[in-house]
């Protein structure tokens, strides 16, 4: 007869991931001591995603940049503005879900009421120390 695997005591079982509410974006948008920039950042250990709630006051802009590695989903949670690309400018409004594919060049400008948006993307790997390539 085959041996049975030993049963691990309950207190030594790995902890199950817990589903929970992390933030209320409306509270963060309406009542924050941070006038500009990141008002909330996902910081859970062991996560596979990065997420940030960003607020830009009226007229403020995220300069033109290209994200070479990661697709980003942007969700407008308050206010409005524009996302500019080399080919066009698109209006952003409360509730819009925008896909920013990797390799795309873009800038973001807040409208007259400011702009608050959530970004979500795959977590960037940490910096790693490695040997220099042979010369």
Q: What is the pLDDT of residues 78-116, one digit of tens each?
A: 999 999 999 999 999 999 999 999 999 999 999 999 999
Question: According to the model, what pLDDT value does residue 129 have?
Answer: 67
Mean pLDDT of 42-60: 93
Question: According to the model, what pLDDT value does residue 132 have?
Answer: 67
Question: Residue 103: phi, psi to the nearest 5?
Answer: 90, -10
DSSP 22-90: ---HHHHHHS-S--SEEEEE---TT-SEEEEEEEE-TT-EEEEEE-SS--EEEEEEEEEEEEE-SS-EE
Residue 8 has pLDDT above 60, yes or no: no
Tell me the sheet residues that pair with 117: 54, 76
Question: According to the model, what pLDDT value does residue 16 have?
Answer: 80
């Amino acid at each position: 007869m085959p041996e049975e695997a030993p049963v691990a005591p309950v207190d030594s079982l790995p902890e199950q991931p817990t589903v929970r509410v992390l933030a209320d974006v409306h509270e963060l948008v309406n009542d924050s001591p941070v006038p500009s920039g990141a008002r909330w950042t996902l910081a859970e250990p062991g996560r596979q995603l990065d997420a940030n709630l960003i607020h830009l006051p009226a007229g403020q802009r995220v300069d033109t940049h290209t994200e070479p590695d990661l697709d980003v989903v942007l969700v407008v949670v308050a206010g409005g503005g524009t996302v500019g690309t080399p080919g066009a400018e698109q209006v952003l409004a409360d509730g819009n879900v925008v896909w920013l594919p990797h390799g795309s060049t873009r800038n973001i400008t807040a409208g007259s009421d400011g702009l608050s948006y959530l970004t979500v993307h795959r977590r960037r790997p940490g910096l790693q120390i490695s040997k220099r390539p042979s010369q």
